[in-house]
Amino acid sequence: MGTDPFYEKLQEISWRRKLSSAEERQLREWLAAHPEAQESFELEMGLTEALGKMPNVPVASNFTARVLQAVEREAMAEAGAQDSRWNAWRKLPRWLPKVASATVVVTAGLLAYLHNHNVEVTQQALVAQRIAGVLLPSPEILTNFDAIRIVSATPAPDEQLLALFQ
């Protein structure tokens, strides 16, 4: 388990040299208290032993310089890849941003016009509804229409006769 500093210290020591008898005893006690780390430790010890059996290969005198050059080439290739993405945008026709901007402006204008038109139609419908409610008589008036027509068809009162009665 890589979280206990004591275990990590003993593990690093075992990579560099053989553990002393006191260190081995401490490690066995720690492993007894932490059985979940046993498999990981055995795997680590097997790997260390296998690496120890491998012969030392002489390293070229310019090994460090070659590694640094490889890192630099990789960094340059990554930067080049980013530049190529930017260059892809640059290869687009010059008129494309202008057309895109014009499309956005025309679309926004059309949407504003349609919204304004819908608001006006709604307002006109509300006005028409209010007018219809004021101008149209109720149906009850029409039920007595014959009586009203007869009353309005009678002749005008005789003024002379009214004057005599007074």
39-64 tens-digit pLDDT? 888 888 888 888 888 888 787 888 88
Q: How many domains does the chain have?
A: 1
Model-level pTM? 0.34
* Per-residue pLDDT at 25 exceeds 70: yes
**Does 31 map to a domain?**
yes
Which pLDDT does position 109 carry in this prediction? 95
Helices (H) and strands (E) in the chain, counts: 8, 0
**Does 42 map to a domain?**
yes
Across 101-160, the runs of DSSP E, i.e. the strands, are: none
* Per-residue pLDDT at 106 exceeds 70: yes
**Does 76 map to a domain?**
no
Mean pLDDT of 87-94: 72
**Does 43 map to a domain?**
yes
Mean pLDDT of 140-163: 75
The parent domain of residue 18 ranges over: 5-53
User: For residues 51 and 14, what is the distance between their CA atoms, to the nearest angstrom?
Assistant: 12
Share of the chain above pLDDT 90, in %: 16
User: Which of 80-89, 123-132, 145-154 has the least mean pLDDT?
Assistant: 80-89
**Does 105 map to a domain?**
no
Share of the chain above pLDDT 70, in %: 86
Pull the structure tokens for residue 12.
Answer: 């690093």
Which pLDDT does position 84 carry in this prediction? 62
**Does 99 map to a domain?**
no
**Does 128 map to a domain?**
no
> Distance from first CA to last CA of the chain, Å, rounded?
127
**Does 35 map to a domain?**
yes
In whole numbers, what is the pLDDT of the chain averaged over residues? Answer: 82
